Chains A and B, each alone.
Chain A
């Protein structure tokens, strides 16, 4: 019996994990699902707060009036001085390309 209407069920959880692109052990999955639902009960406290219809969202706290914003820079490209330091980070490279396995393919009937 779920504690609240938006409790994440296992099916939803598995879908989220699929979207998040990480493999999980079963023990991890059980811990994560439990903690997610525990956090949701904290998040539900937001629903009871009366909000005026015209209250705007704040994507960040500090405002940026004109005298605080930086001017846009010139649209000039500046070549990377040391591409090898960046490519050298990649686990597998070939001829200046990063090598990865093929993308998944699906046969269309």
Chain B
């Protein structure tokens, strides 16, 4: 087994036992990147070649030299007998929505293509302080607007390592692709409607959306300030727990972080799940799709493969001693996407007003005679279609004559969605759940170009993940199985506020119980290395 395909916890042990050096671990990742990633995303990249179609393209900026310096520093500390930190020597990638000092921090957008951040986001700072080795910035949907990573201005956009003709999901597609392909052990992503969990499901990795306020948003280029959650991508629940130990916790530079104590997630991981109450909800076994012909919305059951994966997982949990509680109502789930269309767009329009060509980022090279012309040309040239779409919708639904009908109404529907979760997890309530088990996505990874352009259909990919963003509650996606085309199926566990420890524990228990499952032995298509 290559070093880069091990788990972060195993690597940590090997490093501390001095069986391997941090530089050797890094070199293993760099070799894998060289073998499978292909050319990094770039502006005006031209046509996608046949070779491009067989590569991952997770990266926008690879920072190999500084990674080497970090790895060498870890090795010096280990040799000297010093403690190099919780994540020492573990290579990780960062979704390019986080500011990292001295690196291009692009948000996948032309408007920030030339922006080198003057400061570093808190979660990245904490990982580096813990000795982790930053490999670089990975690709994403532009400003995180999307569920496929295709909308990036930096092309080629990332591809799914399980099948490179498929999307990796989004918006943290570069993060999940880099972890799934063995390019990195961990990645820092963000989840606003499912952008950690959905690509994690598509790429067969573990993705945790923490409770809103659990991980600092300082240094995160904002999309929806009431919805955005930074969180870990990893190849196991234990590795995600390790990363949470480093990044979670209050930050006085982000007033929305909660001063709730951070447990030791690794210790919590190993506790017994006997007697834990896991719910199943009929509202998460139905999905809504817009009908392209009529413009109406029809409801249908989730595909059999998704439903069966969840029911089989429930049996695994039952055999481990958990109680399965069926028919838990979550009746406002179906309003998650309509409410999200309103709330997220209002916040996005507000957050994107700052990109004006004045203080940083792209400024038009055209000759302009007055300030508004500078704004119009810079923003027109710098933003792609997806940001423009969100800005316009945000302005429409918050306009004075529509605000009550759209925005205020959506915020009240958000209260209903939140109450679904409060009722399900109420310790004095009827269901008293520890977690709710659902499919993560309505479908497995779809083909590249299949959905892109239809903004409604693309948004509905998030219908099973977005309610947790409205409610602020945590959720984890972890691999459940593979479908008939060898595409990953993700399972989702949703929990009450600040119960990431319980979700990680359950995902870990499931992994341990299914460790010998045949599907876990299948190889990613991108790793058919004889062909490379």
Contacts and interface: CB of A to CB of B under 8 A. Distances in A.
The answer to whether A and B belong to the same complex is yes
Contact of A42 (B260, B337, B392, B453): B337
B470 to A, nearest CB: 6
Contacts of A89: 115-116, 118, 359-361
Given A57-B415, A90-B360, A32 B372 contact: no
B470 A61 contact: yes
Nearest to B225: A60
B393 A39 contact: yes
A3 B226 contact: no
Contacts of A43: 338, 341-342, 397, 406, 410
Interface residues of A, number: 58
Interface in B234-289: 250, 252, 255-260
A104 B370 contact: yes
Nearest to A37: B295
A42 B457 CA distance: 10
Contacts of B402: 6
A103 B371 contact: yes
B385 interface: yes
Contacts of A103: 370-372
Contacts of B363: 91-92
Contact of B412 (A12, A20, A51, A62): A51
Contacts of A108: none
Nearest to A55: B412
Contacts of A86: 118
Interface string A62-94: 101001111001000000001001101111100
B392 A16 contact: yes
Interface string B349-373: 1000000111111010000111111
Contacts of B371: 100-104
Given A6-B402, A69-B259, A98-B358, A46 B338 contact: yes
A1 interface: no
Contacts of B259: 67-70
Contacts of A28: 385, 388
Interface string B444-477: 0000000001111001000000000111110000
B418 interface: yes
A61 B494 CA distance: 14
Given A67-B259, A70-B252, A59 B392 contact: no
B118 A82 contact: yes
A8 B211 contact: no
Contacts of A68: 213, 258-260
B118 A24 contact: no
B395 interface: yes
Contacts of A60: 212, 226, 256, 472
14 contacts: A19-B395, A20-B392, A28-B388, A36-B392, A39-B341, A41-B295, A42-B338, A43-B338, A58-B412, A61-B470, A68-B259, A89-B115, A91-B357, A101-B373
Given A16-B396, A68-B213, A98-B359, 17 more contacts: A21-B356, A22-B391, A35-B456, A36-B389, A47-B405, A49-B416, A51-B413, A58-B411, A58-B418, A61-B212, A68-B258, A70-B255, A91-B358, A98-B358, A100-B371, A102-B369, A103-B371
